[in-house]
Chains A and B, each alone.
Chain A
Amino acid sequence: MITEEFEPVTDTVEEEASVEACTKCTACNTVCPVARSTDIFRGPKALGPDMERFRSPQEAAVTPGLDLCSGCKLCEVTCPSQVSIQEYIRRAQNKGAREKGRTLRDWLLGHTRLLGRFGSLTAPLANFGNSNPLFRLLMERFVGIHRRRPLPKYQWLTFERWFKRHARPVKPRRKVAYFYGCWVNYNDRRLGERAVAVLERNGIEVVVPRQQCCGIPAVVNSNMDLARRYGHENVRHLTPIAEEMDIVASSTSCGLMLKHDYGHLLDIPDSERLGAKTYDIMEYLWMLHEAGELDLNFETVPMRLLYHAPCHLKSHGIGYPAMRLLRLIPGVKLEEVDEGCCGISGTFGVKVEKYDLSMKIGSRLFEAVKAAGSDQVLADCETCRMQVEHGAGATSAHPIEILARAYGHG
């Protein structure tokens, strides 16, 4: 007889929201950029919580259209019941890749750091090859990288090596550790330099601890074992540092891996302590501002800027700190271009069979960017910036580069 108050679960949000929490409301399908752009993709509801009921360790995970999920996670952002919709799809994709075997292309794309090391060591040659039409044709035929997708330029001097020679500020107020990520290290050292300059201008000493690739390229290329290995490595290197100082990341998706996916998707033990001390760099600077510690002596930056919020930034659940910060700068005219996913989703839009879909997903954004005619498009995520430059012919920047400019670092 149940008369005593007995409560097994009272607070479903704090519990892991399982497939049972899905109310079939279909909100996820309405925001899915892939479902919007192709009728062969059955949508996150069907491929996530619906199919999950039929997946068992013994059965094959492969469902038609499964690999078309680009991993933007907008479905999870939209879900009123906090179901980890995309994670179900991700795990099934990973299981499918284990069963079917992985292509050389996907193996390579998962090894961003390896590519980065090779690319930066051979920078002039790699950049020549990546922009040579004949080489790109061969790459498309034999590797499966679409020939029209511009590939990032590699730079010989990495951020790591630049930072070793960089003079530290005297008498800092605080210290912060910088998770720069593969992009800054191998492709865009200048972004890292500006991030360091902005932090130092605010009396913060930047520490660059030993670090591995965050693992997101491996996750999205269905190589979760590799991502887990990277994650373990980062947790081992960074957790002791996180005991002493906060960690900031300038790449949206790297930050999300450290904050959330290590524990949630990759089940890496003890990663919560690292996640709790990790901040997106714009989020961190906004906190500094609210604490009254942000240097507001900005120079006027007379620019018309368009802000594109990356999908993974929405998953951070922190709003758009970049927009709040940039509105503090005199002269800046800032608008949001609210046209949803850009379509590239990391390495998704690089692949020969997904390039056209990726461009179709982004087409609304490209049109809006072209129509707005601003000086620059801002996005916190590097692959969003690549896609906007390619699709809309615009120039782009990370929002922190505007802050750096306002501090006099052109």
Chain B
Amino acid sequence: MKTDVAVIGSGLAALAAARTVQQSGRRVVLVWPGLSSLYFVFATVDVLGYPTATAADPIDDPAKGLAQLIAKQPGHPYARAGMKAVEDGTSLMLEWFKDAGLAWEGSLNRNFLLPTATGAPKPSCLAPASMTAGDLRRPEPIVLCGFVGYQDFAPELAASNLKQQWKAGEVSAVRVTAPGYGPDRLFTSIDLARSFEDATFRDAVAGQLRDKLIGDGARVGMPGVLGLTTPNETFAAFQRSVGHPVFEIPTIPPSVIALRLFDRLRKHLQEGGIEIIWAAPAHAADVTDGRCRSILLKAAGHELPVEAASYVLALEDWVDGALRAGVHTVRDPFFHQPVAWHKVPTDRAAESLFASQPFEQIGYALTDRLQPADENGKPLARNVFIAGGAMAGYDPSGTKSRGGMAIATGYRAAKEALAA
């Protein structure tokens, strides 16, 4: 399989890289080892929510926060990607979302503060239009609505947490039934999202909400299940039927909001003639004389070499195999280089689940051009560039910066790959 640029990964970084190459007119092939974090975790694009993983106050203006971070930490992956990559990458993605028919809002100069499914305010830079009425910088009272028998969103829990962390307005919780769902049925967000595309179901839910005597001016927070394949129409129709501003809250994986984004972008790439090789995990890079000649995929029965002029390795996360941990050593899956060593494996994790996790910081050391570097700072391969979660030296969860990093590095890595 031959191409100009091969992008390995299915997350936001890989999609941003693929889009960048597509727009340059060069050939790109995407390689997916299954579906990654974007598919089931992402819902918003968080560029920079907190200046550090332990800071208490969220950032209002991510562009300003980034400028400070870059000035203070020149080794940070954001600093290596550069402010221009953040800006250009973000506009590339926002334009792409629009082209693909996805309604998204936001700018680099202002974070939304959106409630999570457990009722925590989370700073996010870009978000689907269906979420932004939940912005906690606005004072209107909030009614959180769940479904009887639906386990993935507890409005009572979210409301009680939110009350403690948000003093600007009133919060309450209600539950409605999911019409046609029997008491014995186990159901997920996906089931509800499919049902919401049916007008009868949607209106029956809205009718129950109207009967709950929601006060004037209140907004209704729903779990993120308002439609799967036709979310724009489903959301608008439901909001009209409820008669109050409605917003969605992303649920635990599989997040329907993420799924909509992913499925739409995937189809849009494929409609544009971009090939995706699915179900083939990449397991080695063939490097001679400092250049990567091919990436070897494990296809059924044999090894499939993907030969490209340059490569963007954009696996997002531990979950999709960006890094592999042995008892002491963590290695990368392409060059099989040790990227971290721990005498005691538990040193990789902090005791508290909510603390900044040391394993988040593990990843490739990078050159200034986002090439993976050896211990002397020399590139492991001149024509390979890293994007997304596998970079060393930052904590995407703690600083709420996973999406912004993915886009900035995906964009920058693709630009480097095109220039290589």
Binding site for B on A (CB under 8 A): 2-3, 5-14, 23, 25-27, 29-31, 36, 39, 42, 76-82, 256, 258-260, 272, 275-276, 278, 290, 314-320, 323-324, 327, 336, 338
Whether the Cβ atoms of B270 and A338 lie closer than 8 Å is yes
Please give the number of chain B residues whose Cβ is less than 8 angstroms from any Cβ of chain A in the complex: 52
Q: Which 5 A-B pairs have the closest CB atoms?
A: A259-B301, A317-B280, A275-B301, A317-B299, A80-B34
Closest to B276 in A: A319
- Choose, from B68-76, B82-90, B316-324, the stretch at the interface: B316-324
Closest to A287 in B: B1
Whether the Cβ atoms of B254 and A30 lie closer than 8 Å is yes
Whether the Cβ atoms of B319 and A23 lie closer than 8 Å is yes
Q: How far is the CA of A42 from the CA of B35 in the complex (A)?
A: 21
Could you write out 15 A-B pairs with CB less than 8 Å apart? A13-B333, A27-B253, A29-B188, A29-B190, A31-B35, A36-B194, A78-B35, A80-B36, A80-B321, A259-B300, A278-B301, A316-B279, A317-B279, A318-B300, A336-B270
Residue B49, interface by CB 8 Å: no
A residues in contact with B320, CB < 8 Å: 80
Whether the Cβ atoms of A320 and B321 lie closer than 8 Å is no
Binding site for A on B (CB under 8 A): 1-2, 29, 33-36, 39-40, 185-188, 190-191, 194, 253-254, 259, 267, 270-271, 273, 275-281, 283, 297-302, 304, 319-321, 324, 326-329, 331, 333, 336, 341, 343-344
Known contacts: A9-B326, A13-B283, A319-B1. The answer to whether A27 contacts B270 by CB under 8 A is no
A6 shortest CB reach to chain B, Å: 6
Whether the Cβ atoms of B33 and A77 lie closer than 8 Å is no
A residues in contact with B253, CB < 8 Å: 25-27
Whether the Cβ atoms of B40 and A260 lie closer than 8 Å is no
Q: How far is the CA of A327 from the CA of B320 in the complex (A)?
A: 32
Whether the Cβ atoms of A317 and B34 lie closer than 8 Å is no
Q: How far is the CA of A148 from the CA of B202 in the complex (A)?
A: 34
Q: How far is the CA of A324 from the CA of B273 in the complex (A)?
A: 9
Q: Which residue of A3, A29, A276, A278 contacts B254 across the interface (Cβ within 8 Å)? A: A29
Whether the Cβ atoms of B278 and A317 lie closer than 8 Å is yes
Q: Which residue of B34, B186, B299 contacts A42 across the interface (Cβ within 8 Å)? A: B186
A residues in contact with B188, CB < 8 Å: 26, 29
Closest to B228 in A: A30
Closest to A12 in B: B324
Q: Which of A13, A80, A290, A323 is the most central at the interface, judged by chain B CB atoms within 10 Å of its CB?
A: A80
B residues in contact with A82, CB < 8 Å: 33-34, 281
Closest to A31 in B: B35
Whether the Cβ atoms of B34 and A10 lie closer than 8 Å is no
B1 shortest CB reach to chain A, Å: 7
Known contacts: A7-B329, A256-B300, A290-B2. The answer to whether A319 contacts B275 by CB under 8 A is yes
Q: How far is the CA of A318 from the CA of B280 in the complex (A)?
A: 8
B346 shortest CB reach to chain A, Å: 12
Whether the Cβ atoms of A6 and B280 lie closer than 8 Å is no
Closest to B36 in A: A80
B41 shortest CB reach to chain A, Å: 8
Whether the Cβ atoms of B298 and A317 lie closer than 8 Å is yes
Q: How far is the CA of A338 from the CA of B272 in the complex (A)?
A: 13
Q: How far is the CA of A315 from the CA of B190 in the complex (A)?
A: 24
Q: How far is the CA of A13 from the CA of B280 in the complex (A)?
A: 11
Closest to B330 in A: A10
Whether the Cβ atoms of B34 and A275 lie closer than 8 Å is no
Q: Which residue of A7, A36, A260, A318 contacts B277 across the interface (Cβ within 8 Å)? A: A318
